[in-house]
Amino acid sequence: MKRDRDLVARVLAAKRDPRCADDLVRDYLPFIKAETARFMGRPPRQGSDDELGIAMFAFHEAVLSYDRARGAFLLFAAMNVRNRLVDFSRRERRHADVLSLDERRPDGGEGGERSLVEMIASERDELEERQTREASRQEIVQFGAELESFGLTFLDVSENCPKQQRTLEACQRVLGCARRNPELLDRLVQTKKLPMAELSRGSGVERKTIERHRRYLVAVLLAFTNGFEIIRGHLRKIVPTGGDGR
């Protein structure tokens, strides 16, 4: 996790200093080449494949537009590289193909035909779905590693979820209290311990209830303090977002 924090610090510095940005692109050129190769299906040839230049530009663009709310930087950068390469590939296809987009062509299915417009739209939907699945998979892996640093597993969290509505509401008050007091979240990350006494006083929830659901509370708070955007989206259904904790 220290390596992730160091990378975020470098990214934030690169947003202000062009030389730091150039250094970051150079140091992460193997990562950029790997993402380009994944898209092309072969290693890119430096100096002859435009895709590598597009990917380097996209990585630099990701540095300038990144903020912590976007999640892990490398995941964000990889998605930006893929999106730029997809756009480039489509532009190249448009220049090379003079056929009408409304022309009907075999769709490779059961003898049916679709226009090029329909086929491109379908490809875009499939690509976006694959990207979403891959982003979710990577985020879950990273979240699992974060939980492990606290001595927790996904099974621990699942088994520790509140089962009764009254207990769930109590946990929501605790989570709301923690999110209204960032210093408590900082202490959780630094000490790897839940500040139970302060949370109990601030939320009005008995300490024994907090202790009973400590693993669940830690996991949810980690998702909100480390930029796990996809996981956070699911958790908003159960975690209070307003200032009053409801």
pLDDT tens for 107-136 read 554 545 655 556 555 656 666 666 666 766
> Residue 230 sits in which domain range?
154-235
Q: Are residues 45 and 108 in the same domain?
A: yes
Both tokens of residue 201? 């006083």
Going along 70-223, which residue ranges are E strands?
A: 104-106, 113-115
Q: Are residues 130 and 213 in the same domain?
A: no
Residues 6+ apart with CB under 8 A from 13: 20
In a domain, 240, yes or no: no
Site of tokens 């601030």:
202
In a domain, 241, yes or no: no
Q: Are residues 112 and 209 in the same domain?
A: no
Q: Which residue has the higher pLDDT, 115 or 137?
A: 137
3-state secondary structure (DSSP) of residue 121: helix
Report whether pLDDT(141) > 70.
Answer: yes
Q: Are residues 33 and 145 in the same domain?
A: yes
Mind giving me the DSSP string for 15-61? Answer: TT-HHHHHHHHHHTHHHHHHHHHHHHTS---TTT-HHHHHHHHHHHH
- Mean pLDDT on 32-39: 92
Q: Could you tell me where the DSSP H helices lie in 192-238?
A: 196-203, 207-212, 214-225, 229-235
Domain closes at, from 149, 168, 183: 149
Separation CA 17–CA 64 (nearest Å): 10
Q: Are residues 163 and 69 in the same domain?
A: no
- Mean pLDDT on 173-195: 88
Q: Are residues 19 and 62 in the same domain?
A: yes
Query: How would you class 159 by CB atoms within 10 Å of its CB: exposed for 0-12, middle for 13-18, buried for 19 or more?
Result: exposed
Q: How many CB atoms lie within 10 A of CB 63?
A: 23
- pLDDT tens-digit map of 198-243: 999 999 999 999 999 999 899 888 877 666 666 666 555 444 444 3
CATH of the domain at 37: 1.10.1740.10
Mean pLDDT over each residue of the chain, to the nearest integer: 78
Q: Are residues 105 and 133 in the same domain?
A: yes
Domain closes at, from 132, 149, 166: 149
Both tokens of residue 37? 């190769």
- pLDDT tens-digit map of 46-78: 777 888 888 999 999 899 888 877 788 899 999
Residues of the chain above pLDDT 90, percent: 22
Q: Are residues 25 and 137 in the same domain?
A: yes
| Whole-structure pTM value | 0.45
- Mean pLDDT on 179-198: 88
In a domain, 245, yes or no: no
Q: Are residues 37 and 116 in the same domain?
A: yes
In a domain, 242, yes or no: no
Q: Are residues 116 and 103 in the same domain?
A: yes
3-state secondary structure (DSSP) of residue 202: helix
Q: Are residues 121 and 159 in the same domain?
A: no
Domain closes at, from 92, 123, 149: 149
What's the pLDDT at 241? 43
Site of tokens 């995941």:
75
Report whether pLDDT(22) > 50.
Answer: yes
What's the pLDDT at 81? 93
Both tokens of residue 196? 């139970």
Q: Are residues 158 and 145 in the same domain?
A: no
In a domain, 54, yes or no: yes
Both tokens of residue 195? 């500040």
Separation CA 7–CA 15 (nearest Å): 13
Q: Which residue has the higher pLDDT, 147 or 230?
A: 147
The total number of structural domains in the chain stands at 2
Amino acid at 93: R
Residues of the chain above pLDDT 70, percent: 72
What's the pLDDT at 79? 92
Going along the chain, which residue ranges are E strands?
A: 104-106, 113-115
17 phi, psi to nearest 5 deg: -125, 110
CA 144 to chain centre: 13
